[in-house]
Amino acid sequence: MPDHLALQPGQRVSIPFGRQSAMGLVVETGVEPPAGIELKSVYSTPEPWPALPPETFRLLSWASDYYQHPLGECLFTALPPALRRGRPAAEKPDTWWRAAGLPEALSANAHRQKALLTWLRERPAGAPVSAIVAAGFTREQIRTLHQKALVEECAASGKAPDPASPTPGPTLSPAQQAAADQIPGPDGGFSASLLFGITGSGKTELYLHYLKQQLDDTSQALVLVPEINLTPQMVARFRRYFGHRIVVWHSALNDGERLSTWLKIRNGEPVILIGTRSAVLLPFTHLKTIIVDEEHDSSYKQGEGFRYSGRDVAVYRAHLNQCPVILGSATPSLESYHNALSGKYRLIRLEERAGNARPPTISLLDIRSRPLEGGLSRPTLQAIEKCLAAGQQALVFVNRRGFAPVMMCFDCGHMVECPRCDTRLTYHRRDRAMRCHHCDYQTAATEHCPKCQSEAFKPVGQGTERTEDILAAQFPDTPVVRVDRDSTQRKGSIQGILKKVNTGEPCILVGTQMLAKGHDFPNVTLVVVVNADGGLFSIDFRAPEQLIQTLLQVSGRAGRGEKPGHVLVQTCHSDHPILKSLCQGHYLTLADQLLAERESGQFPPFRAMAIFRAEADTMANSLALLDTLKPKASVTGIEVWGPLPALIARRADRHRAQLVLCCDNRKRLNQVLAHLCQDLDQQKLPSGLKWMIDVDPQETG
Ligand code: ADP
Ligand code: ZN
Ligand code: ZN
């Protein structure tokens, strides 16, 4: 470290790396090099302050340790790509635009351009690009207007105008107020609250009031959400309350937007950040509150590389930072609920719907001996018909996209499998394709059995496309709107697709889990679950929990407005205890049952768990690596299961196996994992053999 540089941990430095230079981060200073090691000198530092301030740095070091992931990768995850590449930590100034023409100059169908021009005309001093984008317009629209000479660049004039003028929301109901009063404010230091609020109980409204009341003008707050693109209404609601203070963080931001938001946070601007998982790693300096919405959602857990849980890191961060964290959900994870029962978290219950809405009624419809029309029973179709006739909307939940999960030959029994995975191909009729949902393989669909050429080659089971077709045929005068990964990818955004639904006119929504997430459709009064049985008999110990959460979340889309809602669940196991309890609609009662099962099996959250996974060109190689690990892992206090092939043993031609470690004591497990990882790091493995570690795994198959 050259004398003229006063370096601190978390600071970016340019260092010699081989014959080139690279961007690095200072981890520690004042360390004596080991004997016989000669050190090269740091070249320079791009800024005299640490890109990662002390608290963020400590958080990342902890996470590296806890998740057994290399520190360097953890630290760099917290930097925006521009800073990783060594670019200066400064923003290009925002260009300001103002109107230079009249909306009448535009053609009648240029609605968005007209809207933008009108918006600018209401702001004579102009607005910076960031505010224009925040108001819901695109850069492309600015460019087009510029080409038509209808807008012009102008000088920045002080503070950017708010994208929308703040409007106060409804006052909290007595139940909401009572819940809000139980949540400690930032002055009380660390606290963790689990807000159990049934669907439609007004949790979002409660967050807004809490932040309005508790945050002073200098504080920062973080609101984690599972997926922003699925719920843009939520961001809009926050903007109506807080205007400019709201900034967002998600994977669709470009590098410039990322850097700009990152700098605001690092500079301590009093922002309220709404972001997905990785937002929890950002360099806040005045963080006073963390909210984790839909805390049960599995997308908080990163599935590859640095496999952290955004929710769990959020709780640790609140602890480091001595501020409150609020975990909100209508279907809390068993982990969080267990923490609430054991007194680690405060349990706050909000069990009334907001406004005049009532919780929906749920009933099971046994379909064992009923004739089905594309998976839908007569009574189900009648219920949909009645709902539409009353001028309301129905939502049909199918848990698989595509047309049918499999194509089968009724002569020879052949089913088409993925050549690269141990799975079957899903038939997508819209594109006449057979696709693997586990790798990117696809092939053209055929009309005959590829094996025996029989014409009795037919789709089996239900996918969203097939249900859409059946419903369109049954209800020819009603729009059917499909929402799944395929339809949202094609049409660009979920907003466009949902336009029809938002008019409130009778229609049928068909879709996957995507529909379960936080949407507010006031005119949906009927929810149909086509088949509830998928998770009932899975070998994954988390499957029943996830099934219940999904079913209650989809059910929660019914009856959010004035009219009562009803949920029809089709099943072949109407006497299954889980489904019977579901009809009572009391999540915590179900959660108690599920926790009892977890306890008797000694599964998380009653013990800590980690999984070593191996993948190689052959199963033998994968298993062999884990076999060498097993005796080293089998030490006092650790229970080891496996090694066993993964549930989908071959995926994209890689053969996967796993070794599960369980322990009563987290610290002990962490020590053993550290030791095992070190050991693996030092081994020279055959090429193509890879291992990874997953601490607190969400997927255990
Ligand atoms: P959640 O996040 O629990 O699903 P929301 O906050 O989205 O619930 O509220 C559900 C619906 O109830 C929304 O349409 C919201 O505007 C409305 N709402 C929430 N709180 C109130 C209130 N105090 N008075 C009237 N309407 C409310
Ligand atoms: Zn055949
Ligand atoms: Zn495949």
The per-residue DSSP string of 123-168 comes to -TT-EEHHHHHHTT--HHHHHHHHHTTSEEEE---SSPPPSS----
Give every CB contact of residue 125 below 8 A, 6+ residues apart in sequence.
98, 154, 157, 158, 161
Cα–Cα distance measured from residue 656 to residue 452, given in angstroms and rounded to the nearest whole number: 32
What is the tens place of the pLDDT at every residue in 503-515? Answer: 888 999 998 888 8
Percent of all residues in the chain with a pLDDT value above 90, rounded to a whole number = 59
Among 671, 662, 658, smallest CA distance to 638 is for 662
What is the tens place of the pLDDT at every residue in 99-133? Answer: 988 888 888 888 888 989 999 998 888 888 878 88
- Is residue 491 scored above 60 in pLDDT? no
DSSP string, 404-459: BSEEEETTT--B-B-SSSSSBPEEETTTTEEE-SSSS-EEE--SS-TTT--S-EEE
Among 501, 597, 506, 483, smallest CA distance to 548 is for 597
For 166, the token pair is: 């703040």
d(CA 525, ligand 2 centre) in Å: 44
Cα–Cα distance measured from residue 638 to residue 529, given in angstroms and rounded to the nearest whole number: 41
Residue 354: CB within 6 Å of ligand 1?
yes
| CB of 686 closer than 8 Å to CB of 628 | no
Which pLDDT does position 205 carry in this prediction? 94
Residue 205: CB within 6 Å of ligand 1?
yes
Residue 329: CB within 6 Å of ligand 1?
no
| Range 516-542 average pLDDT | 83
Helices of type H across 53-93: 54-66, 71-77, 81-84
Which pLDDT does position 161 carry in this prediction? 63
Cα–Cα distance measured from residue 350 to residue 332, given in angstroms and rounded to the nearest whole number: 13
Calculate the alpha carbon distances from 281 to 136, 277, 379, 630 in Å: 26, 8, 50, 33
Range scoring the smallest mean pLDDT among 68-72, 93-97, 248-252, 607-611: 93-97
Percent of all residues in the chain with a pLDDT value above 70, rounded to a whole number = 98
Residue whose tokens read 């967002």: 248
- Between residues 13 and 582, the one the model is more confident about: 13
d(CA 354, ligand 1 centre) in Å: 5
Please give the sequence-ordered ranges of beta strands (E in DSSP) within 175-293, or none if there are none: 191-197, 220-224, 246-249, 272-275, 287-293
Rounded to the nearest 10 degrees, what angle do helices 139-147 and 111-121 cross at?
80
pLDDT band, residue 558 (cuts 50/70/90): confident
pLDDT band, residue 164 (cuts 50/70/90): low
Which pLDDT does position 245 carry in this prediction? 92
Cα–Cα distance measured from residue 104 to residue 654, given in angstroms and rounded to the nearest whole number: 60
d(CA 448, ligand 2 centre) in Å: 8
- The closest residue, in CA terms, to atom 14 on ligand 1 is 520
Residue 398: CB within 6 Å of ligand 1?
no
- The closest residue, in CA terms, to atom 19 on ligand 1 is 202
- Is residue 75 scored above 80 in pLDDT? yes
d(CA 176, ligand 1 centre) in Å: 10
- The closest residue, in CA terms, to atom 10 on ligand 1 is 200
pLDDT band, residue 160 (cuts 50/70/90): low
Which pLDDT does position 340 carry in this prediction? 97
pLDDT band, residue 166 (cuts 50/70/90): low
Q: Tell me phi and psi for residue 670, to 5 degrees.
A: -60, -40
On the CB side of 484, CA atoms within 13 Å amount to: 21
| CB of 384 closer than 8 Å to CB of 528 | yes
- The closest residue, in CA terms, to atom 4 on ligand 1 is 200
d(CA 204, ligand 1 centre) in Å: 7
pLDDT band, residue 563 (cuts 50/70/90): confident
**In angstroms, how far is CA 519 from the centroid of its own chain?**
14
| CB of 146 closer than 8 Å to CB of 117 | no
Residue 202: CB within 6 Å of ligand 1?
yes
Which pLDDT does position 694 carry in this prediction? 96
Residue 201: CB within 6 Å of ligand 1?
yes
Cα–Cα distance measured from residue 331 to residue 554, given in angstroms and rounded to the nearest whole number: 11
- Between residues 535 and 87, the one the model is more confident about: 87
Which pLDDT does position 492 carry in this prediction? 59
- Residue 152 neighbours by CB distance under 10 Å: 14
pLDDT band, residue 384 (cuts 50/70/90): very high
Best mutation site among 176, 204, 296 for ligand 1 pocket (most ligand atoms within 8 Å of CB): 204
- Is residue 692 scored above 80 in pLDDT? yes
Range scoring the smallest mean pLDDT among 300-314, 420-434, 600-614: 420-434
- Between residues 381 and 498, the one the model is more confident about: 381
Asked if omega into 605 is within 30° of 0 (cis), the reply is: yes
Cα–Cα distance measured from residue 208 to residue 354, given in angstroms and rounded to the nearest whole number: 14
pLDDT band, residue 156 (cuts 50/70/90): confident
d(CA 328, ligand 1 centre) in Å: 14
d(CA 377, ligand 2 centre) in Å: 29
| Range 361-368 average pLDDT | 90
Ligand 1 atom at minimal distance to the Cα of residue 205? 6
d(CA 203, ligand 1 centre) in Å: 7
- The closest residue, in CA terms, to atom 5 on ligand 1 is 202
- The closest residue, in CA terms, to atom 21 on ligand 1 is 354
d(CA 534, ligand 2 centre) in Å: 27
Q: Tell me phi and psi for residue 490, to 5 degrees.
A: -70, -45
Ligand 1 atom at minimal distance to the Cα of residue 350? 3
Residue whose tokens read 């309890």: 581
Question: Nearest ligand, CA of residue 424?
Answer: 3
pTM for this structure? 0.88
Cα–Cα distance measured from residue 164 to residue 49, given in angstroms and rounded to the nearest whole number: 35
- Residue 281 neighbours by CB distance under 10 Å: 24
What is the tens place of the pLDDT at every residue in 577-634? Answer: 888 888 888 899 999 999 999 999 999 999 999 999 999 999 999 999 999 999 999 8
What is the tens place of the pLDDT at every residue in 130-145? Answer: 788 877 788 888 999 9
Residue 176: CB within 6 Å of ligand 1?
yes
Calculate the alpha carbon distances from 605 to 329, 341, 542, 601, 697 in Å: 18, 12, 11, 11, 11
- Is residue 303 scored above 80 in pLDDT? yes
Best mutation site among 234, 331, 520 for ligand 1 pocket (most ligand atoms within 8 Å of CB): 520
d(CA 443, ligand 3 centre) in Å: 11
d(CA 423, ligand 1 centre) in Å: 42
What is the tens place of the pLDDT at every residue in 274-299? Answer: 999 999 999 999 999 999 999 999 99
Question: Nearest ligand, CA of residue 455?
Answer: 2
Residue 172: CB within 6 Å of ligand 1?
yes
- Between residues 279 and 460, the one the model is more confident about: 279
What is the tens place of the pLDDT at every residue in 189-208? Answer: 999 999 999 988 999 999 99
pLDDT band, residue 163 (cuts 50/70/90): low
Question: Nearest ligand, CA of residue 451?
Answer: 2
Cα–Cα distance measured from residue 332 to residue 588, given in angstroms and rounded to the nearest whole number: 9
| CB of 222 closer than 8 Å to CB of 291 | yes
Give every CB contact of residue 467 below 8 A, 6+ residues apart in sequence.
374, 375, 376, 396, 398, 510, 530
Question: Nearest ligand, CA of residue 206?
Answer: 1
Question: Nearest ligand, CA of residue 180?
Answer: 1
For 9, the token pair is: 């941990």
Which pLDDT does position 112 carry in this prediction? 87
- Is residue 320 scored above 70 in pLDDT? yes
What is the tens place of the pLDDT at every residue in 54-65? Answer: 999 999 999 999
Range scoring the smallest mean pLDDT among 178-187, 247-256, 327-336: 247-256
Identify the burial level of 17 via C-beta atoms within 10 angstroms of its C-beta, where 0-12 means exposed, 13-18 middle and 19 or more buried: exposed
Which pLDDT does position 24 carry in this prediction? 94
What mean pLDDT value characterizes the chain? 90
